Amino acid sequence: MSWNPAQYQKFAQPRLRPALELLARVELESPAFVYDLGCGTGALTKIMAERWPHATVTGIDSSSDMLERAASGSPNLRWLRRDIAGWKPHEAPNLIFSNAALHWLPDHERVLPALLKSLAPDGVLAVQMPRNFSAPSHLAIGETVRAGPWRPRLEPLLRESPVADPMWYFELLSSAGAEVDLWQSVYFQVLRGEDPVKEWTKGTWLQPFLQALHEHERGAFEAAYAKRVAAAYPKRADGTTVFPFLRLFFVARRAP
């Protein structure tokens, strides 16, 4: 899947807020090696490089378009174009940080313990993933897929929720020997503009479906989807739209 940085950045602040709140729960004094998996345009990676100026901070993403936006930064900052599904660190990290990226990967039962194992002793794995897949914003994608002439091509792209229940992650990580701090938050995001929920998902979960359509079909698909989510998330009298969004967080510390 290719990414559109401009579309993603339409809601830069509400997308950054969960990352900042996750980072605030990371208690590390002077890490040597920090990795940001799925760094996107690198906004949070740059903040980590400033917080730990003596660390080598590496942002990793598979999208060249995203990394082009992240090109500048501090002297201790590096950028690496890699598929995070197959990434392995050369040095034992003190921190592996991932905001809104690991839900794109399957097999969390294998991936997360492997990341934890790759950490230096007393290292930290800090992760945020959306858990909004049973909300109208995401269910409406499946409804739109099944209601149109594009169904044969798009239906194979539909997925069950890629993020499990919180206790599943707690048991997985604690069984791997980690000290786990895990929580969830619902963000009541106040969005502005026309069809803001459609525009939000167009930057992420809607992208594979739009890219699988012929150019002349995309407008019809977007309009059908926008109609469904506008009914689920009506515009308020002041012109804003409230979009509740559930996110899962955990900070897992490897045993010293």
pLDDT at 10 over 80: no
β-strand pairing of 56-61 with 77-81: parallel
Q: Got the DSSP string for 121-139? A: TT-EEEEEEE--TTSHHHH
Mean pLDDT for the stretch of residues 121-141:
97
Q: What is the pLDDT of residue 4?
A: 52
Query: Strand order of the sheet with strand 56-61?
Result: 77-81, 56-61, 33-37, 95-99, 124-130, 241-253, 179-191
Q: Partners of 96 in the beta sheet?
A: 35, 125
**Mean pLDDT of all residues belonging to the chain:** 92
pLDDT of residue 2: 54
Residue-range definition of the domain harbouring residue 163: 5-253
Task: Please give the Cα distance from 118 to 123 (Å, whole number).
Answer: 9
What CATH number is given to the structural domain containing 18?
Answer: 3.40.50.150
Residue in the block written with tokens 């090696």: 33
Q: Is 21 left (phi over 0), alpha (psi -120 to 50) or beta?
A: alpha
Q: Under a CB-based contact definition with an 8 Å cutoff, are residues 125 and 178 in contact? A: yes
Q: State the Cα–Cα distance between residues 143 and 137, nearest whole angstrom.
A: 10
Asked if residue 253 lies in contact with residue 124, where contact means CB atoms within 8 angstroms, the answer is: yes
Lookup: tokens for 232: 């689920």
pLDDT at 188: 97
Q: What total number of domains does the chain contain?
A: 1
What pLDDT band is residue 224 in, cutting at 50, 70 and 90? very high
How far apart CA 52 and CA 233 sit, in angstroms, is: 41
More confident call, 163 vs 203 = 163
- Provide mean pLDDT across the span 36-48: 92
**pLDDT tens per residue across span 203-222:** 888 999 999 999 889 999 99
Report the candidate in 52, 210, 244 with the shortest Cα–Cα distance to residue 141: 210
Reading the block at residue 242, the tokens are 């409230």
Residue 15 confidence class, pLDDT cut points 50, 70, 90:
confident
Q: Which 3 state secondary structure label does DSSP give 236?
A: coil
236 CB burial (10 A radius; 0-12, 13-18, 19+): exposed
